[in-house]
Structure 1
Amino acid sequence: MITEIQGSWSLVLGVSSGFGRAVARALAERGGNVIGVHFDTADGAEAAAKFADELRETGVSAHFFNLNAASTSTRREVVGQAVELAGDKGVRILLHSLAFGSLLPFAPSQDGPQDQETVNSRQLAMTLDVMANSLVYWTQDLLAAGLLRRGAKIYGMTSAGSTQVLDSYGPVSAAKAALEAHLRQLAAELAPRGIAANALRAGTTLTPALEKIPHSAAYAEVCRARNPHKRLTEPEDVAEAIVLLSMSDSSWLTGNVIGIDGGEILTA
Protein backbone atom coordinates (compact mmCIF):
# COMPACT_ATOMS: atom_id res chain seq x y z
CA MET A 1 0.00 0.00 0.00
CA ILE A 2 1.30 3.46 -0.95
CA THR A 3 1.32 6.02 1.84
CA GLU A 4 1.68 9.77 1.45
CA ILE A 5 4.47 11.60 3.26
CA GLN A 6 2.13 14.55 3.78
CA GLY A 7 1.04 14.88 7.39
CA SER A 8 3.48 12.26 8.65
CA TRP A 9 6.13 12.78 11.33
CA SER A 10 9.83 11.98 11.00
CA LEU A 11 12.67 12.07 13.51
CA VAL A 12 16.01 13.08 11.98
CA LEU A 13 19.14 12.65 14.08
CA GLY A 14 21.79 14.95 12.63
CA VAL A 15 19.33 17.36 11.02
CA SER A 16 21.50 20.45 10.68
CA SER A 17 23.86 19.36 7.90
CA GLY A 18 24.68 16.77 5.26
CA PHE A 19 22.24 13.94 4.72
CA GLY A 20 20.00 14.86 7.65
CA ARG A 21 19.45 18.37 6.35
CA ALA A 22 18.68 17.19 2.81
CA VAL A 23 16.25 14.54 4.03
CA ALA A 24 14.44 16.98 6.30
CA ARG A 25 14.02 19.39 3.40
CA ALA A 26 12.77 16.68 1.04
CA LEU A 27 10.21 15.48 3.59
CA ALA A 28 9.00 19.02 4.28
CA GLU A 29 8.60 19.70 0.56
CA ARG A 30 6.19 16.76 0.49
CA GLY A 31 4.25 17.96 3.52
CA GLY A 32 6.04 15.87 6.14
CA ASN A 33 6.57 17.21 9.65
CA VAL A 34 10.08 17.00 11.09
CA ILE A 35 11.50 16.58 14.56
CA GLY A 36 15.24 17.15 14.39
CA VAL A 37 18.16 16.69 16.74
CA HIS A 38 21.51 18.38 16.15
CA PHE A 39 24.50 19.39 18.24
CA ASP A 40 25.88 22.78 17.25
CA THR A 41 27.36 25.85 18.85
CA ALA A 42 27.39 29.54 17.85
CA ASP A 43 27.02 29.96 14.08
CA GLY A 44 25.97 26.34 13.60
CA ALA A 45 23.11 26.67 16.05
CA GLU A 46 21.95 29.89 14.41
CA ALA A 47 22.04 28.27 10.97
CA ALA A 48 20.03 25.30 12.25
CA ALA A 49 17.38 27.62 13.68
CA LYS A 50 17.11 29.41 10.34
CA PHE A 51 16.79 26.06 8.59
CA ALA A 52 13.90 25.09 10.89
CA ASP A 53 12.22 28.38 9.97
CA GLU A 54 12.67 27.56 6.28
CA LEU A 55 10.94 24.24 6.75
CA ARG A 56 8.04 25.89 8.58
CA GLU A 57 7.62 28.29 5.66
CA THR A 58 6.59 25.28 3.56
CA GLY A 59 3.61 24.83 5.86
CA VAL A 60 4.84 21.92 7.97
CA SER A 61 5.75 21.64 11.63
CA ALA A 62 9.49 21.58 12.38
CA HIS A 63 10.81 21.21 15.91
CA PHE A 64 14.59 21.15 16.39
CA PHE A 65 16.51 20.27 19.53
CA ASN A 66 20.13 21.40 19.90
CA LEU A 67 21.18 18.54 22.15
CA ASN A 68 23.60 15.62 22.26
CA ALA A 69 21.78 12.80 20.46
CA ALA A 70 23.85 10.19 22.30
CA SER A 71 22.60 11.35 25.70
CA THR A 72 19.94 9.48 27.66
CA SER A 73 18.43 12.75 28.84
CA THR A 74 18.16 13.97 25.24
CA ARG A 75 16.27 10.85 24.20
CA ARG A 76 13.94 11.21 27.15
CA GLU A 77 13.19 14.85 26.33
CA VAL A 78 12.82 14.45 22.57
CA VAL A 79 10.76 11.26 22.73
CA GLY A 80 8.48 12.92 25.26
CA GLN A 81 8.00 15.86 22.91
CA ALA A 82 7.44 13.48 19.99
CA VAL A 83 4.58 11.85 21.88
CA GLU A 84 2.96 15.27 22.25
CA LEU A 85 3.62 16.32 18.65
CA ALA A 86 3.03 13.16 16.64
CA GLY A 87 0.03 12.00 18.65
CA ASP A 88 -1.84 9.11 17.08
CA LYS A 89 0.24 9.25 13.88
CA GLY A 90 3.46 8.06 15.45
CA VAL A 91 6.89 8.45 13.88
CA ARG A 92 6.91 7.30 10.27
CA ILE A 93 10.67 7.67 9.61
CA LEU A 94 13.65 7.48 11.95
CA LEU A 95 16.88 8.60 10.28
CA HIS A 96 20.18 8.10 12.09
CA SER A 97 22.77 10.39 10.47
CA LEU A 98 25.22 11.16 13.24
CA ALA A 99 28.81 11.88 12.25
CA PHE A 100 30.71 12.53 15.45
CA GLY A 101 33.65 10.28 16.12
CA SER A 102 37.40 9.98 16.44
CA LEU A 103 39.59 10.05 13.34
CA LEU A 104 42.85 8.71 14.73
CA PRO A 105 44.97 5.72 13.74
CA PHE A 106 45.09 2.54 15.79
CA ALA A 107 48.88 2.38 15.59
CA PRO A 108 51.53 5.07 15.15
CA SER A 109 53.13 5.41 11.75
CA GLN A 110 56.55 3.83 11.52
CA ASP A 111 57.88 7.04 10.00
CA GLY A 112 55.86 9.40 12.20
CA PRO A 113 56.90 11.39 15.27
CA GLN A 114 57.52 9.64 18.56
CA ASP A 115 54.54 11.35 20.22
CA GLN A 116 52.04 10.59 17.43
CA GLU A 117 48.52 10.31 18.85
CA THR A 118 46.56 7.09 18.48
CA VAL A 119 42.97 6.35 19.43
CA ASN A 120 42.38 5.52 23.08
CA SER A 121 39.67 3.43 24.71
CA ARG A 122 37.48 6.40 25.57
CA GLN A 123 37.57 7.78 22.02
CA LEU A 124 36.89 4.39 20.47
CA ALA A 125 33.97 3.71 22.81
CA MET A 126 32.52 7.19 22.18
CA THR A 127 32.69 6.74 18.41
CA LEU A 128 30.90 3.40 18.57
CA ASP A 129 28.29 4.71 20.99
CA VAL A 130 27.42 7.85 19.00
CA MET A 131 27.64 6.50 15.47
CA ALA A 132 26.19 3.01 16.05
CA ASN A 133 24.83 2.09 19.47
CA SER A 134 22.72 5.21 19.83
CA LEU A 135 20.44 4.00 17.01
CA VAL A 136 19.48 0.99 19.13
CA TYR A 137 18.71 3.18 22.14
CA TRP A 138 16.57 5.60 20.11
CA THR A 139 14.65 2.69 18.60
CA GLN A 140 14.06 1.15 22.02
CA ASP A 141 12.73 4.41 23.47
CA LEU A 142 10.49 5.13 20.47
CA LEU A 143 9.06 1.62 20.70
CA ALA A 144 8.46 1.99 24.43
CA ALA A 145 6.58 5.23 23.75
CA GLY A 146 4.41 3.53 21.12
CA LEU A 147 5.71 5.80 18.34
CA LEU A 148 7.08 3.17 15.93
CA ARG A 149 4.19 1.33 14.35
CA ARG A 150 3.44 -0.89 11.37
CA GLY A 151 4.79 0.75 8.23
CA ALA A 152 7.51 2.73 10.01
CA LYS A 153 10.98 2.92 8.48
CA ILE A 154 14.35 3.02 10.25
CA TYR A 155 17.40 4.17 8.30
CA GLY A 156 21.03 4.39 9.34
CA MET A 157 23.69 6.11 7.23
CA THR A 158 26.66 3.86 6.55
CA SER A 159 29.48 4.10 4.02
CA ALA A 160 31.84 2.00 1.95
CA GLY A 161 34.27 2.62 4.79
CA SER A 162 32.56 -0.16 6.73
CA THR A 163 34.52 -2.63 4.58
CA GLN A 164 37.43 -0.48 3.35
CA VAL A 165 40.54 0.93 5.00
CA LEU A 166 41.21 4.67 4.91
CA ASP A 167 43.80 6.71 6.79
CA SER A 168 42.75 7.26 10.41
CA TYR A 169 39.24 5.96 9.63
CA GLY A 170 39.48 2.87 11.84
CA PRO A 171 37.19 4.00 14.68
CA VAL A 172 34.51 5.24 12.27
CA SER A 173 34.88 2.15 10.08
CA ALA A 174 34.21 -0.02 13.12
CA ALA A 175 31.19 2.10 14.01
CA LYS A 176 29.76 1.81 10.50
CA ALA A 177 30.19 -1.98 10.56
CA ALA A 178 28.48 -2.10 13.95
CA LEU A 179 25.67 0.13 12.68
CA GLU A 180 25.00 -2.27 9.80
CA ALA A 181 24.94 -5.21 12.24
CA HIS A 182 22.53 -3.36 14.53
CA LEU A 183 20.19 -2.67 11.62
CA ARG A 184 20.19 -6.31 10.54
CA GLN A 185 19.27 -7.34 14.06
CA LEU A 186 16.55 -4.69 14.31
CA ALA A 187 15.17 -5.75 10.94
CA ALA A 188 14.75 -9.34 12.14
CA GLU A 189 13.30 -8.42 15.52
CA LEU A 190 10.90 -5.77 14.18
CA ALA A 191 9.67 -7.70 11.13
CA PRO A 192 6.66 -9.14 13.04
CA ARG A 193 5.63 -5.57 13.84
CA GLY A 194 5.79 -4.56 10.16
CA ILE A 195 8.69 -2.14 10.73
CA ALA A 196 11.56 -2.03 8.23
CA ALA A 197 15.19 -1.24 9.10
CA ASN A 198 17.89 -0.68 6.49
CA ALA A 199 21.37 0.77 6.22
CA LEU A 200 21.88 3.28 3.42
CA ARG A 201 25.37 3.22 1.91
CA ALA A 202 25.79 6.63 0.34
CA GLY A 203 28.52 7.20 -2.19
CA THR A 204 31.32 9.66 -1.51
CA THR A 205 29.60 12.94 -0.65
CA LEU A 206 31.05 16.36 0.07
CA THR A 207 29.73 16.79 3.60
CA PRO A 208 31.33 18.38 6.68
CA ALA A 209 32.01 14.85 7.97
CA LEU A 210 34.01 13.91 4.86
CA GLU A 211 36.12 17.05 5.08
CA LYS A 212 37.42 15.96 8.49
CA ILE A 213 38.94 12.76 7.09
CA PRO A 214 42.66 13.11 6.26
CA HIS A 215 43.35 13.37 2.52
CA SER A 216 39.61 13.46 1.81
CA ALA A 217 39.91 15.89 -1.11
CA ALA A 218 42.19 13.57 -3.07
CA TYR A 219 40.01 10.57 -2.19
CA ALA A 220 36.89 12.40 -3.40
CA GLU A 221 38.50 13.16 -6.77
CA VAL A 222 39.37 9.48 -7.26
CA CYS A 223 35.76 8.54 -6.47
CA ARG A 224 34.42 11.21 -8.83
CA ALA A 225 36.56 9.88 -11.68
CA ARG A 226 35.51 6.27 -11.23
CA ASN A 227 31.79 6.92 -10.76
CA PRO A 228 29.89 5.99 -13.95
CA HIS A 229 27.94 9.25 -13.57
CA LYS A 230 31.22 11.21 -13.40
CA ARG A 231 30.10 13.08 -10.31
CA LEU A 232 29.97 12.51 -6.57
CA THR A 233 26.87 11.59 -4.63
CA GLU A 234 24.91 14.55 -3.31
CA PRO A 235 22.83 14.61 -0.10
CA GLU A 236 19.73 15.16 -2.26
CA ASP A 237 20.32 11.78 -3.94
CA VAL A 238 19.95 10.10 -0.58
CA ALA A 239 16.95 12.23 0.37
CA GLU A 240 15.15 11.25 -2.83
CA ALA A 241 15.80 7.56 -2.13
CA ILE A 242 14.47 7.81 1.42
CA VAL A 243 11.28 9.51 0.23
CA LEU A 244 10.70 6.80 -2.37
CA LEU A 245 11.47 3.94 0.03
CA SER A 246 9.17 5.41 2.67
CA MET A 247 6.06 5.69 0.53
CA SER A 248 5.13 2.05 1.05
CA ASP A 249 3.78 0.45 4.20
CA SER A 250 5.54 -2.79 3.30
CA SER A 251 8.32 -4.04 5.56
CA TRP A 252 9.48 -6.65 3.04
CA LEU A 253 12.50 -4.56 2.03
CA THR A 254 14.42 -4.80 5.28
CA GLY A 255 17.77 -5.81 6.73
CA ASN A 256 19.75 -4.58 3.73
CA VAL A 257 22.68 -2.33 3.02
CA ILE A 258 21.24 -0.28 0.16
CA GLY A 259 23.75 1.46 -2.07
CA ILE A 260 22.91 5.02 -3.12
CA ASP A 261 26.09 5.85 -4.97
CA GLY A 262 25.37 6.09 -8.70
CA GLY A 263 27.41 2.93 -9.23
CA GLU A 264 30.58 4.26 -7.58
CA ILE A 265 31.32 0.99 -5.84
CA LEU A 266 31.08 -0.98 -9.11
CA THR A 267 34.53 0.15 -10.21
CA ALA A 268 36.21 0.28 -6.79
Structure 2
Amino acid sequence: MNHPVVLITGALTGIARATAVAYAQKGARLVVSGRREQAGAELAAELRAAGAEAEFIRADVRHEDDVRALVDQTVARFGRLDIAVNSAGTEGRPGPATEQTPESYAATFDTNVLGTVLSMKHELRVMQGQRSGSIVNISSTFGHEGGAGASIYVASKHAVEGLTKSVALEAGAYGVRVNAVAPGPIDTGMLDRFAGGQDGKAYLATLNPQKRIGHPDEVARAILFIASEEASFITGHILGVDGGKSAG
Protein backbone atom coordinates (compact mmCIF):
# COMPACT_ATOMS: atom_id res chain seq x y z
CA MET A 1 0.00 0.00 0.00
CA ASN A 2 1.65 3.22 -1.18
CA HIS A 3 -0.25 5.72 0.98
CA PRO A 4 -1.57 3.97 4.09
CA VAL A 5 -3.78 5.70 6.62
CA VAL A 6 -1.82 5.81 9.86
CA LEU A 7 -3.04 6.78 13.32
CA ILE A 8 -0.45 7.55 16.02
CA THR A 9 -1.34 8.21 19.65
CA GLY A 10 1.03 10.04 21.97
CA ALA A 11 2.47 11.55 18.81
CA LEU A 12 3.72 14.88 20.10
CA THR A 13 7.12 13.83 21.45
CA GLY A 14 9.88 11.28 21.30
CA ILE A 15 9.56 8.01 19.43
CA ALA A 16 6.00 8.65 18.27
CA ARG A 17 6.89 12.04 16.81
CA ALA A 18 9.85 10.51 14.97
CA THR A 19 7.50 7.83 13.67
CA ALA A 20 5.06 10.43 12.39
CA VAL A 21 7.85 12.23 10.55
CA ALA A 22 9.09 8.95 9.05
CA TYR A 23 5.60 8.09 7.80
CA ALA A 24 5.18 11.60 6.37
CA GLN A 25 8.39 11.14 4.40
CA LYS A 26 6.94 7.91 2.98
CA GLY A 27 3.77 9.67 1.83
CA ALA A 28 1.37 8.21 4.40
CA ARG A 29 -1.92 9.86 5.29
CA LEU A 30 -1.63 10.65 8.96
CA VAL A 31 -3.70 11.37 12.02
CA VAL A 32 -1.57 12.32 15.00
CA SER A 33 -3.05 12.56 18.45
CA GLY A 34 -2.14 13.85 21.89
CA ARG A 35 -3.47 16.06 24.65
CA ARG A 36 -1.87 19.43 23.76
CA GLU A 37 -3.69 21.41 21.07
CA GLN A 38 -0.93 23.86 20.18
CA ALA A 39 1.81 21.24 19.95
CA GLY A 40 -0.49 19.03 17.91
CA ALA A 41 -1.32 21.78 15.45
CA GLU A 42 2.38 22.54 15.05
CA LEU A 43 3.20 18.89 14.39
CA ALA A 44 0.43 18.54 11.81
CA ALA A 45 1.71 21.65 10.04
CA GLU A 46 5.23 20.21 10.03
CA LEU A 47 3.98 16.96 8.53
CA ARG A 48 1.98 18.77 5.86
CA ALA A 49 5.06 20.82 5.02
CA ALA A 50 6.85 17.52 4.42
CA GLY A 51 4.20 16.69 1.82
CA ALA A 52 1.89 14.45 3.84
CA GLU A 53 -1.85 14.67 4.30
CA ALA A 54 -2.00 15.08 8.06
CA GLU A 55 -4.48 16.02 10.76
CA PHE A 56 -4.19 16.49 14.51
CA ILE A 57 -7.05 15.24 16.69
CA ARG A 58 -6.90 15.88 20.40
CA ALA A 59 -7.59 12.78 22.51
CA ASP A 60 -6.79 11.41 25.93
CA VAL A 61 -6.43 7.63 25.63
CA ARG A 62 -7.58 7.18 29.22
CA HIS A 63 -11.12 8.15 28.17
CA GLU A 64 -13.10 5.83 25.91
CA ASP A 65 -15.24 8.57 24.39
CA ASP A 66 -12.07 10.34 23.25
CA VAL A 67 -10.64 7.17 21.72
CA ARG A 68 -13.88 6.25 19.99
CA ALA A 69 -14.12 9.73 18.48
CA LEU A 70 -10.46 9.68 17.46
CA VAL A 71 -10.89 6.49 15.45
CA ASP A 72 -14.22 7.56 13.99
CA GLN A 73 -12.83 10.93 12.89
CA THR A 74 -9.82 9.23 11.32
CA VAL A 75 -12.11 7.03 9.24
CA ALA A 76 -14.37 9.98 8.39
CA ARG A 77 -11.34 11.91 7.15
CA PHE A 78 -9.55 9.19 5.19
CA GLY A 79 -12.09 6.41 4.67
CA ARG A 80 -10.19 3.63 6.43
CA LEU A 81 -7.50 2.79 8.99
CA ASP A 82 -4.52 0.73 7.89
CA ILE A 83 -1.92 1.18 10.63
CA ALA A 84 -2.23 2.22 14.27
CA VAL A 85 0.75 3.00 16.49
CA ASN A 86 -0.27 3.08 20.15
CA SER A 87 2.48 5.14 21.72
CA ALA A 88 0.76 7.19 24.42
CA GLY A 89 2.58 6.39 27.65
CA THR A 90 4.08 7.63 30.88
CA GLU A 91 6.93 6.56 33.13
CA GLY A 92 4.74 7.31 36.12
CA ARG A 93 6.51 8.00 39.39
CA PRO A 94 9.76 6.03 39.60
CA GLY A 95 10.85 4.85 43.01
CA PRO A 96 10.88 1.80 45.27
CA ALA A 97 7.79 -0.37 45.49
CA THR A 98 7.42 0.67 49.12
CA GLU A 99 6.79 4.26 47.99
CA GLN A 100 4.07 3.47 45.46
CA THR A 101 0.43 4.31 46.11
CA PRO A 102 -2.92 3.49 44.54
CA GLU A 103 -2.70 6.92 42.90
CA SER A 104 0.74 6.31 41.35
CA TYR A 105 -0.43 2.89 40.16
CA ALA A 106 -3.55 4.32 38.53
CA ALA A 107 -1.69 7.21 36.92
CA THR A 108 0.63 4.76 35.17
CA PHE A 109 -1.78 1.95 34.35
CA ASP A 110 -4.57 4.22 33.13
CA THR A 111 -2.35 5.55 30.36
CA ASN A 112 -0.07 2.63 29.57
CA VAL A 113 -2.52 -0.25 29.93
CA LEU A 114 -6.09 1.06 29.81
CA GLY A 115 -5.06 3.45 27.02
CA THR A 116 -3.70 0.52 25.00
CA VAL A 117 -6.82 -1.57 25.65
CA LEU A 118 -9.17 1.21 24.55
CA SER A 119 -7.06 2.08 21.52
CA MET A 120 -6.95 -1.50 20.28
CA LYS A 121 -10.66 -1.98 20.97
CA HIS A 122 -11.67 0.82 18.64
CA GLU A 123 -8.92 0.31 16.07
CA LEU A 124 -9.96 -3.34 15.78
CA ARG A 125 -13.59 -2.31 15.41
CA VAL A 126 -12.59 -0.73 12.09
CA MET A 127 -9.82 -3.08 11.02
CA GLN A 128 -11.85 -6.25 11.57
CA GLY A 129 -14.59 -4.81 9.40
CA GLN A 130 -12.02 -4.08 6.69
CA ARG A 131 -10.43 -7.50 7.26
CA SER A 132 -7.03 -5.85 7.18
CA GLY A 133 -4.80 -3.69 9.33
CA SER A 134 -1.70 -3.57 11.47
CA ILE A 135 -1.40 -2.43 15.09
CA VAL A 136 1.90 -1.67 16.80
CA ASN A 137 1.98 -1.11 20.55
CA ILE A 138 4.97 0.54 22.22
CA SER A 139 6.43 -1.46 25.07
CA SER A 140 9.93 -1.34 26.57
CA THR A 141 12.73 -3.73 27.41
CA PHE A 142 11.18 -3.44 30.88
CA GLY A 143 8.20 -5.26 29.39
CA HIS A 144 10.14 -8.53 29.58
CA GLU A 145 12.79 -7.66 32.18
CA GLY A 146 12.73 -6.27 35.68
CA GLY A 147 13.86 -2.81 36.68
CA ALA A 148 14.77 -1.69 40.17
CA GLY A 149 12.96 1.51 41.09
CA ALA A 150 10.47 1.12 38.25
CA SER A 151 8.11 -1.58 39.50
CA ILE A 152 4.83 0.03 38.40
CA TYR A 153 6.17 1.04 34.98
CA VAL A 154 7.65 -2.46 34.50
CA ALA A 155 4.32 -4.06 35.42
CA SER A 156 2.47 -1.83 32.96
CA LYS A 157 4.76 -2.80 30.10
CA HIS A 158 4.50 -6.49 30.98
CA ALA A 159 0.76 -5.95 30.60
CA VAL A 160 1.17 -4.27 27.20
CA GLU A 161 3.17 -7.24 25.92
CA GLY A 162 0.62 -9.73 27.25
CA LEU A 163 -2.19 -7.75 25.64
CA THR A 164 -0.31 -7.62 22.35
CA LYS A 165 0.09 -11.39 22.19
CA SER A 166 -3.46 -12.14 23.30
CA VAL A 167 -5.09 -9.71 20.88
CA ALA A 168 -2.90 -10.96 18.04
CA LEU A 169 -4.41 -14.40 18.58
CA GLU A 170 -7.92 -12.94 18.41
CA ALA A 171 -7.33 -10.65 15.44
CA GLY A 172 -5.50 -12.97 13.07
CA ALA A 173 -8.68 -14.51 11.73
CA TYR A 174 -9.73 -11.06 10.53
CA GLY A 175 -6.49 -10.35 8.67
CA VAL A 176 -5.25 -7.95 11.35
CA ARG A 177 -1.72 -8.17 12.76
CA VAL A 178 -0.81 -6.96 16.26
CA ASN A 179 2.80 -6.53 17.35
CA ALA A 180 4.81 -4.47 19.81
CA VAL A 181 8.14 -2.68 19.65
CA ALA A 182 10.20 -2.69 22.84
CA PRO A 183 12.86 0.03 22.92
CA GLY A 184 15.80 0.11 25.26
CA PRO A 185 17.13 3.46 26.51
CA ILE A 186 16.26 6.02 23.81
CA ASP A 187 17.15 9.72 23.82
CA THR A 188 13.75 11.14 24.74
CA GLY A 189 12.26 13.38 27.38
CA MET A 190 10.93 10.32 29.17
CA LEU A 191 14.46 8.92 29.47
CA ASP A 192 15.71 12.27 30.78
CA ARG A 193 13.08 12.23 33.50
CA PHE A 194 13.62 8.59 34.35
CA ALA A 195 17.42 8.75 34.42
CA GLY A 196 17.48 11.89 36.55
CA GLY A 197 20.40 13.52 34.74
CA GLN A 198 23.43 12.89 32.58
CA ASP A 199 25.06 10.51 35.05
CA GLY A 200 22.00 8.30 34.97
CA LYS A 201 21.88 8.35 31.17
CA ALA A 202 25.58 7.54 30.99
CA TYR A 203 24.99 4.52 33.21
CA LEU A 204 22.08 3.30 31.09
CA ALA A 205 24.29 3.53 28.01
CA THR A 206 26.62 0.94 29.53
CA LEU A 207 23.87 -1.69 29.69
CA ASN A 208 23.95 -2.67 26.01
CA PRO A 209 26.79 -3.97 23.82
CA GLN A 210 26.76 -0.84 21.66
CA LYS A 211 27.43 1.29 24.75
CA ARG A 212 25.20 4.13 23.68
CA ILE A 213 21.72 5.55 23.96
CA GLY A 214 19.47 4.92 20.97
CA HIS A 215 17.82 7.58 18.80
CA PRO A 216 14.05 7.93 18.26
CA ASP A 217 14.42 7.56 14.49
CA GLU A 218 16.05 4.14 15.01
CA VAL A 219 12.91 2.94 16.76
CA ALA A 220 10.71 4.62 14.16
CA ARG A 221 12.33 2.59 11.39
CA ALA A 222 11.55 -0.62 13.29
CA ILE A 223 7.94 0.47 13.74
CA LEU A 224 7.57 1.18 10.02
CA PHE A 225 8.98 -2.24 9.19
CA ILE A 226 6.87 -4.35 11.52
CA ALA A 227 3.70 -2.44 10.59
CA SER A 228 4.34 -2.90 6.88
CA GLU A 229 3.51 -5.64 4.41
CA GLU A 230 7.20 -6.54 4.45
CA ALA A 231 6.38 -8.13 7.83
CA SER A 232 3.14 -9.75 6.65
CA PHE A 233 3.74 -13.09 8.43
CA ILE A 234 4.74 -11.52 11.76
CA THR A 235 2.11 -11.12 14.45
CA GLY A 236 2.09 -11.44 18.23
CA HIS A 237 5.78 -10.52 18.22
CA ILE A 238 7.70 -8.22 20.56
CA LEU A 239 10.48 -6.58 18.53
CA GLY A 240 13.36 -5.36 20.68
CA VAL A 241 15.18 -2.22 19.58
CA ASP A 242 17.70 -1.98 22.39
CA GLY A 243 21.27 -2.15 21.09
CA GLY A 244 21.47 -5.75 22.30
CA LYS A 245 20.51 -4.96 25.91
CA SER A 246 18.17 -7.94 26.22
CA ALA A 247 20.71 -10.38 24.75
CA GLY A 248 22.77 -10.71 27.89
TM, length-normalised to structure 2: 0.89
CA-CA distance at 1:107 after TM superposition: 4.2
Aligned to 1:242: 223
Q: Deviations over 1:52-90 (max 9, x none)?
A: 101011222211123312212211221221121121xx2
Aligned to 1:113: none
CA-CA distance at 1:202 after TM superposition: 0.8
Structure ranking higher in helix proportion = 2
Q: Report the Cα distance in structure 2 between the residues aligned to 1:226 and 1:143, rounded to whole angstroms.
A: 37
Asked whether the equivalents of residues 6 and 28 of structure 2 are also in contact (C-alpha less than 8 Å), the reply is yes
For the structure 1 residues 105 and 61, does the alpha-carbon distance in structure 2 shift closer, same or farther, using more than 3 Å as the test?
A: same
Aligned to 1:53: 45
Which stretches in structure 1 are left out of the alignment for 5+ residues?
109-117
- In the alignment of these two chains, the number of paired residues is 247
Q: Report the Cα distance in structure 1 between the residues aligned to 2:187 and 2:138, rounded to whole angstroms.
A: 15
CA-CA distance at 1:51 after TM superposition: 1.8
Aligned-partner residue type, residue 32 of structure 1: A
In the TM superposition, 1:133-212 aligns within 5 A as 133-145=114-126, 149-162=130-143, 163-167=145-149, 169-212=150-193
Local SS of the residue matching 2:178 = strand
Aligned to 1:14: 10
Aligned to 1:111: none
Asked whether the equivalents of residues 37 and 67 of structure 1 are also in contact (C-alpha less than 8 Å), the reply is yes
CA-CA distance at 1:262 after TM superposition: 2.5
Aligned to 2:57: 65
Aligned to 2:30: 34
Which stretches in structure 2 are left out of the alignment for 5+ residues?
none
Find out whether 1:99 has 2:89 as its counterpart: yes
Overall identity of the aligned pairs, in %: 25
Asked whether the equivalents of residues 12 and 97 of structure 1 are also in contact (C-alpha less than 8 Å), the reply is yes
Aligned to 2:103: 122
Q: Report the Cα distance in structure 2 between the residues aligned to 1:150 and 1:120, rounded to whole angstroms.
A: 42
For the structure 1 residues 228 and 146, does the alpha-carbon distance in structure 2 shift closer, same or farther, using more than 3 Å as the test?
A: closer
Q: Report the Cα distance in structure 2 between the residues aligned to 1:123 and 1:227, rounded to whole angstroms.
A: 29
CA-CA distance at 1:166 after TM superposition: 2.8
Q: Deviations over 1:150-175 (max 9, x none)?
A: 442111111122322232x1111111
Q: Deviations over 1:118-151 (max 9, x none)?
A: 3222331332121022222222222334577444
Aligned-partner residue type, residue 165 of structure 2: R
Asked whether the equivalents of residues 91 and 194 of structure 2 are also in contact (C-alpha less than 8 Å), the reply is no
1:222 aligned to 179, 197, 203, which one?
Answer: 203
For the structure 1 residues 217 and 66, does the alpha-carbon distance in structure 2 shift closer, same or farther, using more than 3 Å as the test?
A: farther
For the structure 1 residues 47 and 188, does the alpha-carbon distance in structure 2 shift closer, same or farther, using more than 3 Å as the test?
A: same
Find out whether 1:84 has 2:65 as its counterpart: no
Aligned to 2:194: 213
1:258 aligned to 239, 243, 247, which one?
Answer: 239
Asked whether the equivalents of residues 199 and 256 of structure 1 are also in contact (C-alpha less than 8 Å), the reply is yes
Aligned to 1:112: none
For the structure 1 residues 233 and 151, does the alpha-carbon distance in structure 2 shift closer, same or farther, using more than 3 Å as the test?
A: farther
Find out whether 1:24 has 2:20 as its counterpart: yes
Q: Report the Cα distance in structure 2 between the residues aligned to 1:222 and 1:148, rounded to whole angstroms.
A: 47
Aligned-partner residue type, residue 90 of structure 2: F
